[in-house]
Chains A and B, each alone.
Chain A
Amino acid sequence: MATSTNILQSWLQGERSIAPLVIFRFSFGILMFISMLRFWLNGWIEKLYLEPSFHFSYLGFQSIKPLGDWTYLLFGIAAISALGLAFACFYRISAALFFISFTYIELMDKTTYLNHYYFVSIVAFVLIFLPANKALSLDAGWSPKNLNLKLSNAYYLGLFGLVSMVYFYAGLAKINSDWLLRAEPLATWLPGKYDLPIIGGLLEQKYLAFFFSWAAMIYDIMVPFLLWFARSRPLALVLVLIFHILTRLLFPIGMFPFIMVLGAFLFIDAGRQERFLRRIFKFNTEANSRVIKVLHPPKLLHYFFICLLAFQLLWPWRYLAYPGELFWHEQGFRFSWRVMLMEKAGYAQFTIKEPETGLQFKVDNQQFLSSFQEKQMSFQPDFILEFAHHLAHHYQSEKGLKNVEVYAEVFVALNGRPSQAFIDPNVNLAACERGWAPKKWILPFNDTIYGL
């Protein structure tokens, strides 16, 4: 432990060119701009935020809801501030605006939760505090001369740490019997992609699902280490490209591969990145290459990065506090870099009861939810509870029923297993509180999944 602290200490005292941060800032900003545009053009603002009459919210953020037609403005702000970030125009304000607007968008409805959106939010937050506008920025007159600037490695700690953490934890999460011994969910997903050119025909082979499963696990765990060290870095970059091109071809995962590839590029030798920028901006003379100065972060920023990374390191383990199978009850599943681990689907049917009159009827979910919301709700307990509360509220305050009770019959299938009952049908969900406490009304999983 002492030696690794020493290694970290000496690494933090090192320095490197500002170039990797400048390239990252620029490409991340552009990517986010495209990403916002793509969301808009796909009609997803309308479909995900404006059409549904009800939205699922995160515990503690219940007041954050879509803003009606103003939601477009929100996306507009995110898109423009992403450009501001790319060109470092009013850099700090742009970064802060992007962080706030993007995070707000993600908090509006948790139906759309994706790990990489969470990742984007954290990265944007970290960027606010980095001096990424000190070179090649509109703030500094777009002059390449500041390419001579060097940054203390401490400035890079946050981003390096985050990228490494995402890979490493995604790899750890794959160490489980479903992923490694049953090759699920890949064995379910891959055959459906039989129409891909060249590899399409192979995808139905079980051994390929096993190969991909094991390779992805080893890849995810190894890649952060391979990226840190100069000797293994070329190999790591080749693997990163192959891996993300493949996942992009096989799965509908949007912008994620691009974001992760950018993250991996950060690790490329800083001198090389600097020379690349110098060539592009014709700023190559000997005289210009002497170091002007090295920027050091304030002490406070050190602590901030360390706290951030410590939180990231610990937070994914909160699931250990909940009894039962994580994949089944999903308590502590989100915000932990558990990606592509499950093929889960469900069907939920709610019954409304008014005890005093004996009135009893079932609910047509689509009267309240979009088909995407209904699909996501049907297998995630916190969604089911929130929807049950919404139903109780609806029938009490709008339909005038008294002391409404809400019961749910839910069937869920996980990773190719037969569907089984998911929620105790005898529990009145209207009387169950939202919160961090274990949800006792989730029925136990009929099978066992070993591993992390």
Chain B
Amino acid sequence: MLKLRTIIVAFALLSILEGCKVDASQNAGQKDDFDRAAMLIFWADEIIIPAYQDYHLKTKVLQYSLADYRANPSLSTEESLRLAFANGYKSWQWVSAFAIGPAESMSLLNFSNIFPCDTSELLTAITNPNLNLSLPSTFDIQGWPALDYLLYGSNPDSAFNQLQSDPERLQYLQILCDRLESLARSVLEGWTATYRSSFVSSTGSGADAATNKLINDFVFNYEKELRAAKIGIPAGVFSGSPLPSRLEAYFSDTLSKSLYREALASQRAFFEGRSFSSDQIGPSLQDYLDYLQISHNGEMLSSKIINQFKQVETLAAALPTSFKQAINSNPGPFLQSYDALQQNVIWLKVDMMQALNVRVDYVDADGD
């Protein structure tokens, strides 16, 4: 017969298990047949860290180009500075989704690419010697959007004249470039020094586990940065009429399109597991979905997603070179791009997240 005491002991056991559960979900090194650990290692070593290395390199080049320009202002140093800016901004598109670990704790995204730049705020900031750029209130007067304004401005032909005639302005440009470089360096060092090892060993299934967090970041980036910020908002999807001033790289004009295409390529590469630095293809979300045999009416979900990526890329290639000019007069193709992007939000956020059992929030669910 069951003694009441036995039951109380069991109940206590239930309470203890409650405590252990947390540890269990953080247990490292355990695998299912789909090797999440291998996927995390590939993501870290072949995608994320190389992308940050490249990004950091590009910010260094930006610094050198600025030094060259300051030492010898000329048409050619101006052009290499602008080129370094464009290359750095493009490289940014390959790291922006990885808002995890050091990038998350340093708010890399907020300090690097909040647009549109608040230009009037920026112009006051230039003259403020006590400006503290680590405050959240300064998100929109620094990073790439602020460089975009300083290097092109409302009139690209006179931007460099303004820099030359205003030492404070030039100094501010220097501060911003140094800051981009130091942020990139800190994040990269954070990854190589300590975070890489905790990332690849965090193979658990809890909401805080690396796989879950990174998938969340990836989908968030697709939905908010790519679909909404780059296309939806400027095309007027959320306002009823186009808002060209909300474009990424608004001042440098033709750069908007390149950045959008870079971001698309980086998103697809991550989904397909393409190495950043070599031709290698490794374990990926695509493989994970295929491993779980997620298909819709005979077609693999992963190939539906990839085909949709391809369609979005085709539409992107056909967009006019100057988003700024076209988006007002003929927003149709942009809205079409938005709809194509939207389709993949559903497949990524609803179908893929459900299949991979990725949890977003830590809140109690129902029990029976």
List the interface of chain A (C-beta within 8 A of B).
42, 44, 48, 112, 114-116, 170, 188-189, 191-197, 200-201, 203-204, 216, 220, 233-234, 237-238, 241, 244-245, 247-249, 251-258, 261, 265, 268, 272-273, 276, 337, 339-340, 343, 345-347, 349, 359-364, 371-372, 375, 411-413, 416, 418-419
Contacts and interface: CB of A to CB of B under 8 A. Distances in A.
Contacts of B25: 195
Contacts of A116: 366-367
Contact of A244 (B5, B14, B349, B361): B14
Nearest to A189: B357
B32 A201 contact: yes
A197 B24 contact: yes
B367 A413 contact: no
B236 interface: yes
A245 B13 CA distance: 9
Contact of A339 (B30, B203, B355, B367): B367
B7 A265 contact: yes
B17 interface: yes
A419 B351 contact: yes
B27 A252 contact: no
A195 B362 contact: no
A216 B363 contact: no
15 contacts: A192-B356, A194-B31, A195-B24, A195-B25, A195-B203, A237-B2, A241-B7, A254-B365, A254-B367, A339-B366, A343-B354, A345-B353, A362-B238, A416-B355, A418-B297
Given A220-B368, A340-B368, 14 more contacts: A191-B357, A192-B357, A194-B205, A195-B204, A200-B32, A204-B33, A234-B2, A241-B11, A248-B17, A248-B18, A253-B364, A347-B346, A416-B294, A416-B355
B279 to A, nearest CB: 31
B175 interface: no
In the A-B complex, the 7 residue pairs with the smallest Cβ-Cβ separation, listed nearest first, are A253-B367, A192-B357, A254-B364, A194-B32, A256-B367, A418-B296, A339-B368
B342 interface: yes
A47 to B, nearest CB: 8
A363 B228 CA distance: 11
B346 A419 contact: yes
Nearest to A241: B10
A247 B33 CA distance: 23
Nearest to B203: A195
Contacts of A241: 7, 10-11, 14
Given A195-B30, A347-B345, A188 B354 contact: yes
A255 B367 CA distance: 9
B14 A419 contact: no
Nearest to A375: B360
B interface, size bucket: 35 or more
Interface string B26-50: 0100111100000000000000000
Contact of A191 (B1, B292, B296): B292
A90 to B, nearest CB: 28
B329 interface: no
B216 to A, nearest CB: 10
B27 A195 contact: yes
Contacts, number: 157
Interface of B: 1-2, 4-5, 7, 10-11, 13-15, 17-18, 21, 24-25, 27, 30-33, 203-205, 228, 232, 236-240, 292, 294, 296-297, 301, 342, 345-347, 349-351, 353-357, 359-368
Nearest to B32: A194
Nearest to A203: B32
A191 B239 CA distance: 42
Contacts of B21: 248-249
B361 A371 contact: yes
Given A371-B361, A375-B361, A418-B297, A273 B4 contact: yes
A372 B361 contact: yes
Contacts of A44: 363
B11 A261 contact: yes
Contacts of B346: 347, 411, 419
Contacts of A245: 13-14, 17
A413 B366 contact: no
A362 B240 CA distance: 8
Nearest to A337: B368
A203 B33 CA distance: 11
A256 B4 CA distance: 21
Contacts of A413: 350-351, 354
Nearest to B237: A362
A257 B367 CA distance: 8
Contacts of B15: 258
B366 A115 contact: yes
Nearest to B21: A249
Contacts of B368: 170, 216, 220, 247, 337, 339-340
Of B5, B296, B366, the most chain A CB neighbours within 10 A belong to B366
Contacts of A258: 11, 14-15
Contact of B237 (A253, A268, A361): A361
A193 B32 CA distance: 9
